[in-house]
Amino acid sequence: MIDEKAIRLRYAALAAVLDERGRRRFASAEALAAGRGGVSAVSKITGIARSTIDRGLVELRGEGELVSSSRRVRRAGGGRKRAVEKDPTLLGDLKRLAGLFNAL
C-alpha cells in the first residue's frame, strides 16, 4: 500500500526549494519507492504530470542525462525567443520612445 500522506508531507517540505529538475527527480524517486502504481499515486499527490515522472525515471535509471556539467535546468534552445530576435527594430524604437519622454 502506498503511503500517500507521507509522500504529500515530503513533497510539501521540499517543493519550495526544488527547481524543475529536482521536482522531477523527487517525484520519480518516490514513484520508484512506492512500487506498482507509484507513478499514478505520485502524479495525483503532487500534480506533476505522469510523463514528467516517467522522464525522471529514465534519468534515475541512468538511461538519460542524470548529471549535467552546467546548472541549466532545460535543454539548450528551449523557451521563448528574445523579443529583439523577433523584432530587430524593437530596441531602437524603445530608445526613441524613452527619448521622447525625457524631452517632456
Contact, 46 vs 11, CB < 8 A?
A: yes
Supply the pTM of this predicted model: 0.64
Name the CA dihedral angle for 35, 38, 39, 43, rounded to a multiple of 10 degrees. Answer: -160
The predicted structure's pLDDT at residue 67: 53
Radius of gyration of the chain from its Cα atoms, rounded to whole angstroms:
21
Give the mean model confidence (pLDDT) for residues 70-95.
82
Q: What is the mean pLDDT of residues 40-54?
A: 96
How much of the chain exceeds pLDDT 70, in percent?
Answer: 88
- Mean per-residue pLDDT for 64-83? 68
Is the pLDDT at 66 greater than 80, yes or no?
no
Mean predicted confidence (pLDDT) in 59-67: 72
d(CA 27, CA 29): 6
Q: Longest Cα pair distance anywhere in the chain, in angstroms?
A: 71
Confidence of residue 63 (pLDDT cuts 50, 70, 90): confident
